[in-house]
Structure 1
Amino acid sequence: MTELHLIPVNTNVHSVHRPDGAHVGNLKRIGAVWKFKAVGYDAGGGVEPGGGPLTEQHNMVFDAPDAQVVSARLGCWL
């Protein structure tokens, strides 16, 4: 399993990174749930919301920003 790293941005957002440091998305608290928001980058380094290697998991819902749970559910897609 690929272990993902969650880095707190503020109380409602955690950035999600692969072990090599690549940013693949964010967990955002929306109401009472946390949603994964996929992020990709184009050849010029521009942000592609909803893109990247986890596009199909965009908007996946989580109960909390727990790195083990997020890794278990998203890590197999990397």
Structure 2
Amino acid sequence: MTELTLTEVNANVHSVHLPSGAHVGNLKRIGAVWKFKAVGYDATGAVEPGGGPLTDQHNMVFDAPDTDAMNTRLGCWL
């Protein structure tokens, strides 16, 4: 299983990264709900919202920004 890391951007957003440092999404608080927002990049480096290796998990709901929960639920998809 790949170990994902969370980096706090602000009180409502945490970025999600692979061990290589590659950005694969964000965990965003929308109202009272935390949702994973997948992110990919095209050949020119432009952001593809909802894309990338975790595209099928886009909008997965979490209770809070928790690294263990992210790895349990998302890491198995990598």
TM over 0.5, shorter chain: yes
Question: Shift of residue 61 of structure 1?
Answer: 0.1
TM-score w.r.t. the length of structure 1 is: 0.98
TM-score w.r.t. the length of structure 2 is: 0.98
Matched residues, percent identical?
Answer: 81
The answer for the alignment partner of 2:36 in structure 1 is 36
1:25-64 matches, within 5 Å, as 25-64=25-64
Instruction: Give CA deviations for 1:13-57 in whole Å, capped at 9, x if unaligned.
Output: 000000110000000001111000000000000000000000000
Distance (Å, rounded) in 1 between the aligned partners of 2:70 and 2:32? 17
1:7-18 matches, within 5 Å, as 7-18=7-18
- Give the aligned residue type for 1:47: V
Structure 2 unaligned runs (5+)?
A: none
How many residue pairs align between the two structures?
Answer: 78
Distance (Å, rounded) in 2 between the aligned partners of 1:28 and 1:53? 18
- Give the aligned residue type for 2:29: R
8 Å CA contact 1:7, 1:14 repeated in 2: yes
Question: Shift of residue 3 of structure 1?
Answer: 1.1
Q: Alignment partner of 1:64: what SS?
A: coil
Distance (Å, rounded) in 1 between the aligned partners of 2:77 and 2:43? 22
Q: Alignment partner of 1:25: what SS?
A: strand
CA RMSD of aligned residues (A): 0.5
The answer for the alignment partner of 2:2 in structure 1 is 2
